[in-house]
């Protein structure tokens, strides 16, 4: 779940940054000045929130049990790991950019210091709000995130999907690494857990 927060914050900041740049280009009235100051303030708040969520995300990563962690890390070695069919479909179903032709998720680059924010659309995606021609308020964003958390632990489920898929396909890279870890339970045991006999 914290991986969703991290992405949301990174995307929101990016959207604010773009707004700020557009405003700066044509700023001449006092109103624009005030708006710019407000944007700067908002960005500062977001940066703080990002810091906190990133820290939580690191903690969560540290708590992943051994064998799953290896699979997790191996998959993450590919910077576009999240462009897996299941996750892309999930994004499209939520009305994210993967359902349209813009290709934002695939193109999403990590900004320096925000490398954990790469992934599929969140409520903070600027392209999504442009498409809908409206922006969610702070409260509405919170409601959506809350609903997500209530239904399922989104990120955990997504990772499990990716991981199980890697195992079902017999990802050679993962398998090789797993076989090098003595303390890890047998691969067959893992497959049993994932429902593959």
Using rule CB under 5 A, residue 119 touches Zn ion: no
Q: Which candidate, 106, 129, 144, 104, places its Cα nearest to that of 12?
A: 129
Place of tokens 């006999």: 197
**Is residue 171 helix, strand or coil?**
coil
The pattern of x and - marking residues 123 through 152 that bind Zn ion according to CB under 5 A reads: --x-xx------------------------
Tell me whether residue 158 or residue 174 sits nearer to Zn ion (CB atom): 158
Number of residues binding to Zn ion, judged by CB under 5 A: 12
Looking at residues 42 to 101 of the shown chain, list those that interact with Zn ion (rule: CB under 5 A): 91, 96-98
**Is residue 20 helix, strand or coil?**
helix
Does residue 20 contact residue 35 with C-beta atoms inside 8 Å?
A: no
Q: How far is the CB of 97 from Zn ion (least distance, A)?
A: 3
Distance CA 163, CA 69 (A): 10
Tell me whether residue 91 or residue 184 sits nearer to Zn ion (CB atom): 91
Positions touching Zn ion (CB under 5 A) are 91, 96-98, 102, 104-105, 120-121, 125, 127-128
């Amino acid at each position: 779940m914290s991986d969703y927060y991290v992405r949301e914050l990174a995307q929101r900041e990016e959207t604010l940054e773009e707004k700020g740049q557009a405003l700066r280009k044509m700023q001449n009235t006092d109103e624009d000045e005030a708006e710019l100051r407000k944007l700067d303030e908002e960005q500062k708040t977001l940066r703080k929130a990002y810091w906190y969520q990133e820290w939580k995300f690191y903690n969560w990563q540290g708590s992943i049990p051994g064998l799953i962690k290896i699979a997790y890390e191996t998959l993450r070695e590919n910077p576009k790991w999240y462009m897996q069919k299941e996750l892309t479909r999930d994004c499209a179903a939520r009305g994210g950019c993967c359902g349209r032709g813009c290709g934002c998720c695939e193109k999403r680059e990590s900004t320096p210091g925000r490398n954990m924010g790469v992934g599929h659309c969140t409520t903070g995606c600027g392209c999504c709000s442009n498409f809908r021609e409206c922006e969610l308020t702070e409260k509405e964003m919170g409601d959506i995130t809350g609903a997500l958390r209530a239904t399922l632990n989104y990120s955990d489920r997504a990772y499990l999907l990716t991981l199980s898929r890697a195992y079902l396909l017999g990802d050679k890279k993962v398998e090789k690494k797993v076989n090098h870890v003595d303390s890890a339970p047998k691969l067959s045991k893992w497959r049993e857990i994932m429902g593959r006999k």
